[in-house]
Amino acid sequence: MILINLLPHREAARKRQKDQFFTQLGLSALLGGVVCGAVFTWYQGQIASQQDRNAFLQAEITRLDAEIKDIASLQKEIASLRARQTAVEDLQGDRNTPVHLLDELVTQLPDGVYLKSMKHENQSVLLTGVAQSQERVSDLLRNLANNSQWLVRPELIEIVSSSVALAAQQRRVFNFSIRASLKRPSAEAGTAPAGAPAAPGKV
Output the tens digit of pLDDT for each of the chain's 203 residues.
Answer: 666 656 666 777 788 888 888 888 889 999 999 999 999 999 999 999 999 999 999 999 999 998 898 898 888 899 999 988 887 877 766 666 777 778 778 888 888 888 888 887 777 888 898 888 888 889 888 888 888 778 888 888 888 888 877 666 778 888 999 888 887 655 444 444 444 444 443 33
Q: Is 35 helix (H, G, I), strand (E, B) or coil?
A: helix
Q: What is the C-alpha separation between 152 and 193, in angstroms, rounded?
A: 12
Helices (H), 95-133: 97-108
Length of the chain: 203
**Which one, of 107, 96, 98, 97, lies nearest residue 203 by Cα?**
107
Q: How far apart are CA 141 and CA 174, in angstroms?
A: 14
